[in-house]
Structures are given as C-alpha cells and as structure tokens.
Chain A
Amino acid sequence: MRRTVPLLITGIVGVVFVVSYFIPHKPFSNLNDWFSDWFSIVAACAIVLGSLNLILISSQKVARRKEDWGYAVVIIVCFLITVIAGIAGGRGYQNTGTAFEWLYRYLYVSLSSTMYAILAFYVASASYRAFRARNIEATMLLVAAFLVMLGRVPIGDVITQFLPEGARISDFQQWIMDFPQTAGQRAIMIGIALGLTSTSLRVILGIERSHLGGGD
C-alpha cells in the first residue's frame, strides 16, 4: 500500500505520457490531458505545502522562543497580511491599485530584485580574487569571456573601429556565441538528454525508487 501503489502510479502515468507520443489518439490523448490537469493542481498544492510548512516551522520557532524568533514573527505577520490582502481582493486581486498589487510592487519587487542584485558585488570581488589564467584551459576561458564581455557592449566596437566591418569585437563575440559556444552547449545538451532519458526509464520501470524514501 505504501510502496506498491506509488510504484504503480509512477509506472502507469509515465508509460501513458510516453505512449501518447506514439499514439496521440483516444484513450491516450484523453489521459494525457487529464494527467496534465491533475499535475497542475498537484503542483499548486505542492507550492502551498511549501509555504504552509514555512509558517509551521516559524510558528514552532516562536512558540519555543528559539534564537531569532523575532524574525519568525515578522515572517508570520507578513505572510498573514499578504494572504488577507490577496483573498480579500477578490478575483481582481492583482489588478493595478489593489492592496495585493501594492504589496507586490513595493515590497516583493524591491526585495526580490535586490536579493539577486547583490550577487553582482560578489561576482566582481571573485573575479578580482580568484579568476586566474593558471593553464591553457583557464586562459581559453578567460579570453572567450573577455571577447564576449567586450563584444556585447558598444565600447568593444569603439576600441576596434580601425578594423573593417565584420572583423570587429562584436563580430568575434557573435562568432564565438554561434559556433564554439553552440557546439559546447550542444554537447552538454545531448549529454543531459541521454542522462535524463535513462534516468526517466529507470524511474518508470521502478528500478530507481529513491523518491519513495524509507519505510513500508
């Protein structure tokens, strides 16, 4: 019950998706549509589960007065304010001018984008401290990076304007992106695709079952 049924579900659902590629007609096309609909609902519940789990953990932190529990209070309060604003906003909750949209525009946008923006400082610092041309491979990486970095901004062509059109840094950059870079990406892509195909087969056939965890 705890392991056999999940294994059966995985196998049947996986096989249906594979077969529907070869036989895109009833009943497989119908099953394909139904499963896609169910997936959407289950995925949404998984996301909600994540959020609720976070609130549960934060509540426990507050209840047990663990270290930094004050911040957990902030998390819970902000969560509740957002949920109330969103649910009370009705179906048009995300239209311009609603409370939920205000929270999004001024809090979520600022915090989310700044969280990522500070990575720029670390990238610059790491470039200064750790990016060394120690061997031929690292040098190739560096040279390619330099050319692409210069070629993607206007200054690259200003520096090389003495060269004829078609032989400036922006053209070199484009060539790197179109040929050697694409070749490398393609090799990686093919490698990942073959790896994923074999892993998916193992999962569908029940050979790979680590996702079921322990227990019966």
Chain B
Amino acid sequence: MSRRTIEIALVVVGLALCTLAYLGKKNVQGWHSGFEFSPTTSQIVIGLIGLSLVWILVRTLQDKAVGRRTVFLYVGIAIALPLFMSIDQDIVISENTRHVYESLGELPPGSKVLVSFDYDPASSPELQPMAEAFLAECFRRDLKVIMVALWAPGAIQANIALDTVRARLGLDTTELVYGEDYCNLGYQAGREFVIQRMGTSFEAMFGTDVRGTPYRQIPLVRNVRNFSDINYAFNISAGFPGTVEWVQVAVSRFGLKLGAGNTAVQAPQVYPYLRAGQLQGLLAGINGAAEFEKLIGLKAVATTYMLAQTFAHLIVIAFIIIGNIAYFRGERETKLRGRTQ
C-alpha cells in the first residue's frame, strides 16, 4: 500500500469519526444511548481478534515481520472493541485493597480524612476512578474530607472527582456542604517540604482554599492544626512527589496513618512500605480501583475498563510469545546451518 493511499485512508477515517460525532450530538434516534455487542457478536469479535493473532504468528514464522504500524492498528482496535462488550468478570479482591476499605470502616462518623491528589490528567484514567470510589465511600460513611495536592493539576482533579461523586450519589449542595463535609485546600509547591510544614501547621502552608477562602474561615479545618488532628490519610499518587514522600515525612516523622492509591507503574516501589507496616493498604492501578468499587458495591469506570484491560494483557502476552517463537526458530535454523556447513 502506498503512503498516499494510507494517508487518504487516515483522512477518511478521521472525517468518518467527525461525522459520527456530529450525528451523535444531533442525537439522531436516541443515538446517545450508545450500543453494546450482543453475546454472540462479542464471541465473534473475540474469535476474530484471536484469528488475527494467528495471522500475525504465521506471518512472523514466514520471516515476514509484521510492521510497526500494523501492530499499532491492531492494538488500537483490539482495545477499543471490548469497550462495546458486556461480559461479567469476577474481580478478585486483594488484601491490600481490603486494608484500605477496612481502615475507613474503623473510623467513627465525623472523622477527618486527608486526601492528597498527587497526579495529573496523564494518569487520570487509572487514578480518577480510584479517587471517585474513595470519596464516595468517605461520604457514605459520613467522614469529613480535607483535600490537598502536591501536584498542581491535583486540585482540579479533586473538583472533577467531587462533581462526579455528587452526581453519582445524587447529593446536592445542601446534603454535602462545602467547608463542613469537605474542603479543597488546593495545591502548594515544594514537594516533601509541603508535607514537612504541614507537620507543624496546615495553615502556614495553605493560607486559603481553592476558592480563596481564608483557612480560619473554613469550619472543617478551623481546628485542624497539623497531622495530629487527622484520623486517616489517603494519598493518590502517580509519582514524585507522592506516596514515597508521604511515607517518609508524614508517617515516619509525624506518625500519620496512611493508605495509598497508586498507578500500576509506581505500585511495586511502595510494596516494601506495606511489608514494613508503614502503609495501611494500597490500591494498585486500575484493578485496585475495580476491587475497591466491588467492595463498596459500585459498578463504575474501573470495573467497565477491566475487560479491555484483560484483552490488553492477553495481546501483549501473545505478542511476546509470538516474538519468542520466531526467535527460537531462527536460532535453531542458525544452529542447523552451522552444522551442515
């Protein structure tokens, strides 16, 4: 296929998507309700994805390496299709997730929970569902939530999570009152030095909240001096500064009880803290979020992503196996050629 043909095809696909979007916004015949594959269609689609993997294997064995862009296209399609399927999966709950849930369960109503939003939109597909599920559970248990952020985008991510939770739980501003049930102190620069300063004075570090209200005028935090007035903390983190720094400063130095929600890529690094008892539970990646959703009886974003996640893992495993089959076959042929010469 020539480059020009590919480019024309890409433009056509782009225009087709725009047309779909336009028609969708026009809401032609209840378009907005979306659609879902029937069980039979789902099975056919899964079969086709499997067959295409066989095709990739055959091509590879014929020494016709599959091009980079073909792999890209394949991954894109194979991850998009499961989003249209509805297959129930039994999500296994890990001990680390259960610890987070139980930590919340141990808190009496009215306890103050500090939630630190240390991530940006790049990690929101993994961490936002976690944040939403955690906040929903806090409000369900009548826990008072104080939000802060060591990453600048964290403050807005907190607002977005709150809007979602409010809509999901059907709570209006009279049922969930800003400044009494929750507040957002926003972001402050300074990485672990922010945590360090919070150890002596929250107010010194966060003079106002995100709305510009002075600290002392917020009923929820008026009497919160430092970590000793916080019953439990939960850090949602995508890297530095994040869970490691919260453990190092808030836990080790000020004795805060801390749980965490991490991106999958960061989670392995904090396992030693779990074993050492420095961290009370961990939600690791999208499956951590899905497990937490299951625990609190909520079927939300993370749960719906898990099927696509399953496909993604199987595809990568298949790719590695195919690549290795080709590699060992090539090695064997090289050895055989060496013997015959």
Contact = CB atoms under 8 A, between A and B. Distances in A.
Contacts of A129: 65, 323
A122 B285 CA distance: 20
* Chain B interface size, under 10 / 10 to 19 / 20 to 34 / 35 or more: 35 or more
Contacts of A142: 320, 324
Interface string B300-313: 00000010011011
A124 B275 contact: no
B14 interface: no
Given A120-B312, A154-B310, A186-B275, 14 more contacts: A36-B194, A39-B190, A40-B205, A90-B212, A96-B160, A101-B159, A117-B125, A127-B320, A131-B324, A152-B313, A153-B309, A155-B310, A157-B90, A186-B272
B317 A109 contact: no
A180 to B, nearest CB: 11
Interface string A96-136: 10000100110011101101110011011101111111000
Interface of A: 29, 32-33, 35-37, 39-41, 43-44, 47, 90-92, 94-96, 101, 104-105, 108-110, 112-113, 115-117, 120-121, 123-125, 127-133, 142, 146, 149-150, 152-155, 157-158, 170, 174, 177-178, 181-182, 185-186, 189
A128 B197 contact: no
Per CB-CB distance, the 10 closest pairs between chain A and chain B, nearest first, are: A91-B212, A40-B190, A154-B89, A128-B319, A109-B121, A44-B189, A36-B197, A116-B122, A153-B310, A39-B193
Contact of A124 (B188, B285, B306, B315): B315
Given A33-B197, A104-B153, A121-B76, A174 B95 contact: yes
A152 B189 contact: no
A131 B212 CA distance: 52
Contacts of A155: 89, 310, 313-314
Interface stretch (B5-13, B67-75, B105-113, B169-177): B67-75
B65 to A, nearest CB: 8
Interface of B: 65-66, 68, 71-72, 75-76, 79, 89-92, 94-95, 120-125, 153, 155-156, 159-160, 163, 186, 188-191, 193-194, 196-197, 200-201, 204-205, 208, 210-212, 264, 268-269, 271-272, 274-275, 285, 287, 306, 309-310, 312-317, 319-320, 322-324, 327
